[in-house]
Structure 1
Amino acid sequence: MNKLYLRVKELAAQKHVSLAKVERDLGFSNGIISTWKTGKASQDKINSLADYFNVSTDYLLGRSKDVKDPVAYFRLDTSGLSEDQISSMKSELADYAEYLKHRVRGDK
């Protein structure tokens, strides 16, 4: 079964919405998500789903296992970097996101 279909089904369940509701919310044709069990989705549909569920397209497509992987979310090019460098980048991005969250809230 297609990873995209499985991820969408999982994310919809976590959000407590049906696949039909996701389709209606996004203006997709009725039953389109079920066709992805064996077929492919268009890039615009994948992008819409990523925005709807607030995940990266890499996560939806099974290229990333981490739903909140900042490197995948921002589609950063990591070619030429070692695993340690990528890990460091993820950690620094997560720290920066936390800093921004507190700054926006006005925390000290």
Structure 2
Amino acid sequence: MILISRTKDIAKLRGLSLDDVALKAGLSAKSIYNWGRNSPKSENLQKVADVLHVSTDYLLGRTDEMNATSSDKKVTDILDDETILAFDGMEIAEEDKEKLREYARFIIEQRQRGNK
């Protein structure tokens, strides 16, 4: 069964036994071994996926991506001068972009100094 084999493989990759994973997920030590005979409750599957830092779809064999990402979201560096900054669908004026970049630099500097 894909669920058990993937759970074992990822646990091993993380340096954990199935008992360790179950206990960290708040389940009884041997509960994951029963998944070969009985399907787990969705909340238990989610807890185990969280412990292993993978998606439930990965454990179930629905995807080969351990951590599915949303294609809707993009990561863009605000400090990149080539990034087009916009608000409410309208491009931000260049002088305002520079003010935002200055503020971003200030925040980064504060975090580096430990002043969150």
- The TM tier, using the shorter chain, reads 0.5 to 0.7
Could you tell me which residue of structure 2 aligns to residue 12 of structure 1?
11
Classify 1:99/1:29 alpha carbon distance in 2 versus 1 (closer, same or farther; 3 Å).
Answer: farther
| Structure with bigger RCO (C-alpha 8 Å, 6+ apart) | 1
Could you tell me which residue of structure 2 aligns to residue 66 of structure 1?
65
Structure 1, residues 13-39: CA drift from partner, whole Å, max 9, x if none?
000111111122122123111111232
Q: Matches of 1:18 and 1:59 in 2, distance apart? A: 18
Q: Matches of 1:57 and 1:99 in 2, distance apart? A: 30
> If each structure's helix is expressed as a fraction of its own residues, which one has the higher value?
1
Q: What RMSD, in angstroms, separates the aligned Cα atoms of the two structures?
A: 2.6
Alpha-carbon distance, 1:99 to partner: 4.9
**Which runs of structure 2 are paired with 1:73-92 in the superposition (5 Å)?**
89=71
**Rg comparison, structure with higher value:** 2
Structure 1, residues 47-99: CA drift from partner, whole Å, max 9, x if none?
1012111211111111111112213xxxxxxxxxxxxxxxxx3xx74x52x75
Could you tell me which residue of structure 2 aligns to residue 74 of structure 1?
none
The alignment's TM-score, normalised by the length of structure 2, stands at 0.59
The alignment's TM-score, normalised by the length of structure 1, stands at 0.63
Give the total of aligned pairs: 82
Could you tell me which residue of structure 2 aligns to residue 39 of structure 1?
38
Q: Structure 1 unaligned runs (5+)?
A: 72-88
Q: Matches of 2:50 and 2:77 in 1, distance apart? A: 23
Classify 1:69/1:18 alpha carbon distance in 2 versus 1 (closer, same or farther; 3 Å).
Answer: same
Runs of 4+ in 1 over 4 A off after TM superposition: none
Fraction of identical pairs, as percent: 28
Classify 1:62/1:21 alpha carbon distance in 2 versus 1 (closer, same or farther; 3 Å).
Answer: same
